[in-house]
Amino acid sequence: MYKRKLYLFGLLSTFILFIALASAAVTAHLTRTNLEQSQLAQSLLSEHQQLSSTSYRLFKQLTDELIFGKSANQANVRNKQERIDQSIARIKQFELAQRDALGLDATQGSVEDTDELEALIGSIVDEFRSIAARNDSTPLKEQERLHTLLESTIDNQFREAINAAVVRQSSVVSGINSSIDTLNTSIVWFTIILGAITCPFILLGCYWLFNALYHPLTVIRTGTDAIASGNYHYRLPETLDSEFTDLVKAFNSMIVRLGAHEDKASAHRKQLEYEVETRTRALQEVNNKLTQLDTKRRQFMADVSHELRTPLTIIRGEAQVTLRQQTATVEIYQETLNTILEQSVKLSKLVDDLLLLARAEMHEFTLDVAQCTLESELSEQVTKWQKVIKTRDINFQSQLQHNQSVVIDKERIIQALTILVENANKYSSPGTPIVVSLDDDNNWIRINIMDTSDGISSSDLEHIFERFVRLKRQGDGMGLGLSIAKAIAEAHSGTLTARSELSKGSVFTLSLKKPASH
């Protein structure tokens, strides 16, 4: 009895499901077709806009040829012409596909207008070439032929042709969107009607099934409660209706398997304990590394304390010695004050450098960026460095194709480069030059500071950008310069690297990203 009613309920449900699936399939097909046409129309609209932009750029570059000479922008002109030909080819391909899908009435004039637009662009380019070939000495603004080309042909005919194509495709897009909206409305109403018809049958069937299955479900729930409490020895009775015999057997079999799984779970717990112990050892290793980092931090604090103690000791000593002299002269006081001032300036510079590095680590390093022509700025700065460092030549070389501009904080970049030049001067062999070069590497502009020094060993090269590292106790530096220069480079999303060969010299390279082109 249960089986017959279940079959009847199943057939009714299958029929309703078939209607729903068939409706969904038809809807999906229509929606996909409309979306494909919408995407095609959008692509055509985008291609027309791209063709317009590229054409106007081509006309501007051809106008530049008339102004600056035939050799100007030749590579760019060829590139633009190729892109225009590609755009027109894609437009024709899309328009033919659109005509096949929508019919001649919906796409009236699209293919024909594109042929006319292609001919118009070709005639404009030929007219530019013809005007350029005449070598007319008359000023460009007084040439009637050029005036007609720019004002009438380009501003009127070409613009109207492009606008007409864009308007036509916009109309096609609007029509397709309207069709999609109509389809969506139909789907919504169909869904509402189907739900209103099928919901009563489904509710009645569910009510009957609930009543018919209530007793067996009560028995099964009792079994599940027993399993949930951990009683894997409980078994369901096999005295229920024949329709539930297989279910009861499967349930009892499941209880047996759950008991076996519980045994396996116990073994897995032991395995998990072992893995936890392994992870604990790994965490201990990480903790050891953190301890090492803390040791480095303490060493850093010790280095800072040492660097601060030296000038403070000198200031204190000079003041005490001078104050103890009962007959000190003005010259002695002046000398003492000069010494105190000198050490105070060193202290102030050290504090400023440490503050800069701290801000860089906390990502609070603010930059005052602006557009800067790097080649001219470097050339001017090299001249200033040469005036300060008179004992050696500072040569400037640029391999940029044109005067490339970058967006940087000029003062900070000059500060970093000054640190590199001062280091090169300090450690270079006497009388050897310092070379400042500028080159282009894909998306990067690289500034190289090259010197002829004893070089840096590979083991020392790994630590030169760390704070208070001074490989040679030469001069009165504090070992912060290269750390500051690296922080400035990284604040600009750039890099500062070094390479060196013993007895041959070193090269420090500051790399800056080129600005994104529009």
Burial class of 151 by CB neighbour count within 10 A (0 to 12, 13 to 18, 19+): exposed
How far apart, in whole angstroms, are the C-alpha atoms of residue 166 and residue 392? 65
Residue 365: closest CA among 412, 417, 415, 419: 412
Identify the band that residue 473 occupies on the pLDDT scale cut at 50, 70 and 90: very low
User: What confidence tens digit (pLDDT) does each residue in 74-130 have?
Assistant: 666 677 778 888 888 887 787 777 777 777 666 666 667 777 777 878 888 787 777
The string of DSSP codes covering 136-198 is --S-GGG-HHHHHIIIIIIIIIIHHHHHHHHHHHHHHHHHHHHHHHHHHHHHHHHHHHHHHHH
Extract the tokens encoding 229. Answer: 């409490």
Residue 509 has pLDDT above 90, yes or no: yes
Residue 72 DSSP class: T
The whole-number pLDDT of residue 44 equals 77
User: What confidence tens digit (pLDDT) does each residue in 436-462 have?
Assistant: 999 888 888 999 999 988 888 887 787
How far apart, in whole angstroms, are the C-alpha atoms of residue 400 and residue 53? 29
How far apart, in whole angstroms, are the C-alpha atoms of residue 256 and residue 509? 71
Is this model's pTM higher than 0.85 or not? Answer: no
How far apart, in whole angstroms, are the C-alpha atoms of residue 12 and residue 463? 79
The single residue listed with the structure tokens 């899309």 is 94
How far apart, in whole angstroms, are the C-alpha atoms of residue 497 and residue 448? 10
The whole-number pLDDT of residue 243 equals 66
Identify the band that residue 518 occupies on the pLDDT scale cut at 50, 70 and 90: very low
C-alpha radius of gyration, the chain, whole number: 41
Could you give the 3-state DSSP secondary structure of residue 108? Answer: coil
The single residue listed with the structure tokens 């010494």 is 339
User: What confidence tens digit (pLDDT) does each residue in 365-389 have?
Assistant: 788 888 888 888 888 999 999 988 8
The whole-number pLDDT of residue 3 equals 62
Considering 267-271, 288-292, 306-310, 453-457, the range whose residues carry the highest mean pLDDT is 267-271
Contacts of residue 410, defined as CB under 8 A and 6 or more positions apart, other chains included, come to 370, 372, 377
The single residue listed with the structure tokens 């080159």 is 439
CB 447 within 8 A of CB 417: yes
Contacts of 113-116 with C-beta under 8 Å, sequence gap 24+, read 113/161, 113/164, 113/165, 113/168, 114/88, 114/165, 116/161
Identify the band that residue 472 occupies on the pLDDT scale cut at 50, 70 and 90: low
Identify the band that residue 433 occupies on the pLDDT scale cut at 50, 70 and 90: very high
Residue 411 has pLDDT above 70, yes or no: yes
- Helical H segments across 69-158, by residue range: 74-102, 110-134, 144-148
Tell me how far the alpha carbon of residue 444 is from its chain's centroid: 16
- How many other C-beta atoms lie within 10 A of the C-beta of residue 177? 13
Identify the band that residue 435 occupies on the pLDDT scale cut at 50, 70 and 90: very high
The single residue listed with the structure tokens 């530096």 is 477
Considering 109-118, 167-176, 406-415, the range whose residues carry the highest mean pLDDT is 406-415
Residue 372: strand pairing partners: 406
Average confidence score pLDDT of the chain: 79
Residue 361 DSSP class: H
The whole-number pLDDT of residue 374 equals 85
Strand order in the sheet with 434-441: 394-398, 434-441, 444-451, 505-513, 495-501
User: What confidence tens digit (pLDDT) does each residue in 221-265 have?
Assistant: 787 787 777 777 777 777 766 667 777 778 788 888 887 887 788
Mean pLDDT of the 163-191 span: 77
Contacts of residue 81, defined as CB under 8 A and 6 or more positions apart, other chains included, come to 58, 125
Residue 395 has pLDDT above 80, yes or no: yes
Lowest-pLDDT choice from 143-147, 184-188, 191-195: 143-147
How far apart, in whole angstroms, are the C-alpha atoms of residue 208 and residue 200? 12
User: What's the chain's length in residues?
Assistant: 518
